[in-house]
């Protein structure tokens, strides 16, 4: 399971970086077009939005894994005994269940895009709408991995970065 998660982390990091690189390139073209050439291509607006969608989609699971998503752990972690661990487990299971329930609707939303194209780039919108599916599946994988590792006693459910910091 660790090898599979490690592969998914590597792919997610690469895809997040690629989306960020595309975002930076599109914004650079916009800025240069507006300030230097006084003519910014229209397609850069769309490409910026699409790159931002994929940046969020691939980064969401990584953020869950590292603890960088918004969390109300100040309350949970101040509770006595095993309650913080129980609440981390409950949170991981609830996130995984919610994502599992949203996979089919996200697939339907993605498939609707086959009939549409983006106005400036002319790209099929199912390729863009797939970012929603990627985000949900990414969260599902990382939340499930956290819940399973807690269930089998391999982890206490603390975010991955916090665990690394504690072992130093």
In whole angstroms, what is the distance from residue 72 CA to residue 75 CA?
6
Q: Which domain holds residue 35?
A: 2-166
In whole angstroms, what is the distance from residue 90 CA to residue 78 CA?
16
Alpha helix (H) ranges present in 2-124?
A: 2-35, 43-66, 73-76, 83-112
Per-residue pLDDT of the chain in tens (168 residues, 90 and over written 9): 788 999 999 999 999 999 999 999 999 999 999 999 888 899 999 999 999 999 999 999 999 998 887 776 778 778 888 888 899 999 999 999 999 999 999 999 999 999 999 999 999 999 999 999 999 999 999 999 999 999 998 888 888 764 454 454
Number of domains in the chain: 1
Helix (H) or strand (E) holding 129: helix 125-151
Tell me if the pTM is above 0.85: yes
């Amino acid at each position: 399971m660790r090898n599979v998660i490690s592969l998914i982390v590597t792919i997610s990091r690469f895809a997040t970086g690629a989306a960020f690189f595309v975002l930076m390139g599109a914004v650079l073209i916009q800025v240069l077009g507006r300030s230097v050439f006084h003519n910014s291509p229209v397609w850069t607006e769309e490409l910026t939005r699409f790159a931002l969608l994929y940046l969020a989609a691939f980064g969401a699971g990584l953020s869950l894994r590292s603890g960088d998503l918004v969390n109300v752990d100040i309350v949970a972690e101040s509770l006595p005994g095993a309650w913080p661990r129980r609440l981390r487990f409950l949170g991981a299971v609830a996130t995984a269940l919610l994502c599992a329930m949203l996979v089919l609707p996200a697939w339907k939303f993605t498939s609707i895009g086959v009939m549409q194209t983006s106005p400036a780039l002319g790209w099929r919108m199912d390729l863009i709408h797939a970012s929603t599916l990627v985000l949900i599946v990414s969260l599902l994988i990382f939340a499930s991995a956290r819940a399973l590792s807690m269930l089998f006693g391999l982890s206490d459910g603390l975010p991955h970065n916090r665990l690394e910091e504690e072992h130093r």
